[in-house]
Amino acid sequence: MNVLDAAGPQAGKLVVLWWVMFWVSVAVLALVLIALAFAVVRGRRHDGDRRPAPEPPPARRAGVVIGAATVVTTLILIALLVTSVVTGRAVSAFSGPDPLTITVTGHQWWWSARYDDGEPSERFEIANELHVPVGRPVRLKLQTVDVIHSLWVPNLHGKRDLIPARTNELWLQADREGVFNGQCAEYCGLQHAHMALRIVAESPQAFDTWRRQQMQPAPEPTDALVQRGRDAFLAGPCVLCHTVRGTTAGGRVGPDLTHVASRATLAAGTIPNTPGHLSGWIADAQGVKPGTRMPTLGLPPDELLAILAWLETLR
Ligand code: CUA
């Protein structure tokens, strides 16, 4: 993923700002190096023929050169400052009609997201993977339940902090389909580096299909093993932390697992969501992501396999 490959209006402006700063800095560096080389060569030439060093230029000429360089430097810095402020304002002024509103909450070390639009019955919560429709403005309300985090999805927007006891807003829009990786950009503890958020931008039709699917409660078990897995999950400690809509599990500490099998990664982008990785995660979460609040439960193997079979049906 190239962070300079903008996929939204604000990222586009930030990329322009980045290139302006880059090329101005390159030009300034080149000029300074040329001036330095010129001075060195001039000094050496006189060294070689053992003539006395040239008279220093008259103080007035040196004064003019230094003054001009100072003025040019100041003008360049002011121009960069103005460009930066104008870009920052344009980026934060972005909004639009009929936005999709999502409350994104930072946790040590994962993200929850609640889709707030529509009737209360149409709202739902997911974790670590947002879907958004292409071409529609998205209004993210950013909160945190513990420490300061920062959301950064380089292809769509700059960084915005999630501050305890307040709600920050971030508007973004994806102009093309794709999967855009986001990352927590504020050091927030041991697993700060494993706090990724995927944003899947898709066509409005595909988004609608996904949304309807996510609104559904968990499907009923269809065979004995899956049924056993659900019973084991609901009878065990899992329910203290996880919600699975359509069951009695209503914990709020960890990610909502109602459609966990529909997500591409586990543990906020730490591992791919495959049956093997999922069983490794349940069996030894502390080994996969030390410090995570997911405990190592020491489930009997047959129980683990049954729970795994059930979780795999939660699409
Ligand atoms: Cu959350 Cu760094």
Same-domain pairing of 120 and 207? yes
CA–centroid distance, residue 79 to ligand 1 (Å): 34
Q: Is the CB of 111 under 6 A from ligand 1?
A: no
For 172-228, write each residue's pLDDT tens digit: 999 999 999 999 999 999 999 999 999 999 999 999 999 999 999 999 998 999 999
CA–centroid distance, residue 293 to ligand 1 (Å): 15
For 260-299, write each residue's pLDDT tens digit: 999 999 999 999 999 999 999 999 999 999 999 999 888 9
3-state secondary structure of 242: coil
Q: Is the CB of 114 under 6 A from ligand 1?
A: no
Q: Is the CB of 269 under 6 A from ligand 1?
A: no
The domain containing residue 41 runs over which residues? 9-92
pTM, 2 dp: 0.87
Task: Retrieve residue 296's tokens.
Answer: 């190592």
For 302-312, write each residue's pLDDT tens digit: 999 999 999 99
Three-state helix/strand/coil letters over 88-136: HHHHHHCCCCCCEEEEEEEECCEEEEEECCCCHHHCEEEECEEEEECCC
Q: Which of 42, 62, 92 is where one domain is finished? A: 92
Angle at 161 between CA 155 and CA 162, to 5 degrees: 120
Q: Which atom of ligand 1 is nearest to the CA of 147?
A: 1
Band (pLDDT 50/70/90 cuts) for residue 65 is confident
Decide the pairing of beta strands 110-115 and 124-127.
antiparallel
- 1 domain-assigned: no
3-state secondary structure of 39: helix
Q: Is the CB of 159 under 6 A from ligand 1?
A: no
- 302 domain-assigned: yes
Residue located nearest, by CA, to atom 1 of ligand 1: 149
Q: Read off the CATH number of the domain in which 149 is found.
A: 2.60.40.420
